[in-house]
Amino acid sequence: MDLSGIFRVRPGSSGQEEAVAGPPVIITAADPARRLEVLDDFEQAGIGWIWATDSENRLIYISAGAAQTLGRTVEDLLGQPLFQLFETDPDNPDERSDRPLKFQLSARNKLTDLVLRFADEEPLGRGRAAWWSFSGHPKFDGEGVFRGYRGSAKDVTLEYQRKLEDSRLAEYDSLTGLANRHRMTRRLESTLAAYRNAKRSCALMMLDLDRFKQVNDTMGHPAGDELLRQVAERLRNIIGDRGEIGRLGGDEFQVILPDLDDRGKLGALAEKIIQIVCQPYPIDGKRAIIGTSIGIAVAPYDGLARDEMVRASDLALYAAKNGGRGQFRFYSADLKDEEQERTLLLDDLREALDNEQLELHYQPVVRTADNMVVGFEALMRWEHPERGSVSPGVFIPAAEDGNLIGRVGEWALRQACWAATNWPQSVRVAVNVSAVQFAAAGFPELVASVLSETGLAPNRLELELTEGVFMGDSEAIDATFKALKQLGVRMALDDFGTGYSSLSYLRSAPFDRIKVDKSFVDTCTQKDENSAKIITAIIGLSEALGMETTVEGVEAFDQLELVIAKGGKFVQGWIYSKALRLAEIEARLGSGEFKIEPDGPQIYRAERRSMFRRIGLIHDDHRYQAVMRDLSKTGARIEGLLGVPVGTGLVLDLGGGQLAVCTVSRSQDATIAVEFETPLVSDGAGGLCTRHRVSPYALASAGMPLTSLPQGSYPLEQMQQDGPKGAPQFMQVAVGGNG
């Protein structure tokens, strides 16, 4: 550019010529050549670029430097619609409008520092992306006709990428890369708001890792962090693109699953998560094992707002943890505040220990060759004066969390050893040891002390352990095994086959016995199951390793015959005996009765759940009250209606939006049996539930009366019922609790 009109030149002190300011030469509109020079200098400096479009929003001018930045020629860009070259970035942390560029151009909106991403499908150099900041205004001629846009742009890629990273850090967990609590809160709120208006469903899973604290305590916080990263990766692989996963903090995770209300699919997904998460984690040459519990809530049935859904899933999670861990639970309206309930339970458990309310019952282990009793498993029982019978699956996890497991476990060990001292020398006693108790410092010393105190021979004590004992520091675990083996006590691996790395446990741990889990026995006689093959494989494996095998849960002769045919030598199950009180065992052993003949049904059938539960029955436009006496996945027995022909179609209202379509298969007097059109699924708590819950909107649109609609979070008053009712076809009769 010629500067002679602005500067004069003089010799400098260094001999160099230097410019000296002279009187300014003003560039005016009458000097288009100098104005063009200024524009060229501006574009070449890369400070910014000029662009223009025609009335069709096609690019008709772009600075040459701008095209070079994009790795394109000017000719490549000109003539193309601007909204095809650039697009609004949905992840822009500063741009909250969801209006695309095409809409803004069509609306003739003024553009002010609008960040857009270059949208060409051909990658830029080194695969990088480019973001530009656009400003522009619509141009109209003297008659008001739109002539296109005129504007400027600049490359803001570096600044924008930094801003994106800052935004990502604010919304994502730095340890796992999952969404953090802030992002999950916003996503859940926005999803529920949108889905409420569209009458769509959304499931929320709340996950809590079991025994994570022990990993931190035994292996250190860096190991705990690595464990959390591996858990996050497993969750990503399981969930995929079905939902968003977040880490809320600590060992608590959350999963949002849009448009999913099928509780069969949700239960299957939860079981898969539980199974995958409980696989061992390799960390620094060691092995860590944890588990997880899951609470599930589904909108709109369990809540409409975020706080309602979070509370519902939290309550379900507490129920899963207190039910024995490693389980899932669906929310139901009758769930109590489980955290408060657990506190009360721990207080009662302390009182039970003080007042000797706990008791051990003993289930025989029988040798199949001659039906002789060779041992007993000590099973803890708690008969609460107000709660009634409290399951060990409920109070043992509570005892572990409340630091009572050491006291409870020591009590059981001492009681069982004292009891066994009065039995024949050939009869052993087996005592369950929790993973927390096993990992506690001084556990081998405790066992040695109890054996010394009671005088029981070490080889008559068998400690039953689950895979959970392998959690944590593998060196410390190996040391505990070695110390126990030196004492001479026996060890059994319980629930074998339900985990994922049992073979590695058998290789590394000195077990004397493997116990085949009841779940395989339950289905071993079914044609389409592989359980019989698994039982055969476990028995063969244990024999090859020089171990004994006990098959648990045998209840019927068809199961017993199969187990014996597969090589089973020891059985523990109801076909021989349920758990017995100590007084009854001593009386039978004292009379020399060490033999138990098997006694049970010929064929095992999964029993229907007996109950007395009032339900609704819907037929045509009438709703009847009835009583359900028992329930299975495929049907139910119901009392309370007279004159219902076989083949009649009914709808069972099981409450909470659970409607089961069924057909009457048997009818006698006021009792009918029905078969479900769609089998029920597990509710995670040992009960059954329908796969889906029915929206009252759908029922109303189908013409069902409002009295038949289930309770739920819906404005039922907005629904209208049209048409008169017909006469009821069946007679409803009263049914009592002892009927």
Report the pLDDT averaged over residues 41-49. Answer: 78
Q: What is the mean pLDDT of the chain?
A: 83
d(CA 215, CA 286): 11
Report the pLDDT averaged over residues 170-193. Answer: 90
Cβ(226)–Cβ(285) under 8 Å?
A: no
Residue 696 has pLDDT above 60, yes or no: no
Tens of pLDDT along 379-436? 999 888 887 888 887 788 788 877 888 899 999 999 999 999 999 999 999 999 988 8
Tens of pLDDT along 240-285? 999 999 999 999 999 999 999 999 999 999 999 998 998 888 888 8
Residue 558 has pLDDT above 80, yes or no: yes
Cα dihedral 235/237/242/247 (nearest 10): 30
pTM for the model: 0.61
Residue 713 has pLDDT above 60, yes or no: no
Residue 3 has pLDDT above 60, yes or no: no
- Domain 174-335 CATH assignment equals 3.40.50.720: no
Higher pLDDT, 37 or 15: 37
d(CA 251, CA 288): 15
Residue 90 has pLDDT above 60, yes or no: no
Strand partners, 490: 462
340, exposed or middle or buried, with CB in 10 Å at 0-12, 13-18, 19+? Answer: exposed
Give the pLDDT of residue 499. Answer: 55
Domain chopping of the chain, boundaries:
47-163, 174-335, 340-515+550-557+571-590, 609-732
134, exposed or middle or buried, with CB in 10 Å at 0-12, 13-18, 19+? Answer: buried
Cβ(173)–Cβ(184) under 8 Å?
A: no
pLDDT-above-70 percentage for the chain: 85
Q: Which fold has domain 609-732?
A: Thrombin, subunit H (2.40.10)
Residue 708 has pLDDT above 70, yes or no: no
Q: Looking at the domain covering 47-163, what would its CATH class be?
A: alpha beta
Residue 97 has pLDDT above 90, yes or no: no
Tens of pLDDT along 612-658? 788 888 888 788 889 998 888 889 999 999 989 999 999 888 877 78
Residue 697 has pLDDT above 60, yes or no: no
Is residue 121 left, alpha or beta, with left meaning phi > 0 and alpha meaning psi from -120 to 50? alpha
d(CA 146, CA 442): 86
Give the pLDDT of residue 702. Answer: 53
Report the pLDDT averaged over residues 110-125. Answer: 75
Residue 707 has pLDDT above 70, yes or no: no
Tens of pLDDT along 301-342? 888 899 999 999 999 998 888 777 788 999 987 776 666 777
Say how many Å lie between the first and final Cα of the chain, rounded: 107
Hey, do 174-335 and 340-515+550-557+571-590 end up sharing a CATH topology, with the first three levels equal? Answer: no
Give the pLDDT of residue 14. Answer: 56
Cβ(39)–Cβ(50) under 8 Å?
A: yes
Q: The tokens 């009263």 sit on which residue? A: 734
Give the pLDDT of residue 502. Answer: 55
At position 574, the amino acid (one-letter code) is W
Going by pLDDT thresholds of 50, 70 and 90, the confidence category of residue 28 is: confident
Tens of pLDDT along 370-392? 999 999 999 999 888 887 888 88
- Domain 340-515+550-557+571-590 CATH assignment equals 3.20.20.450: yes
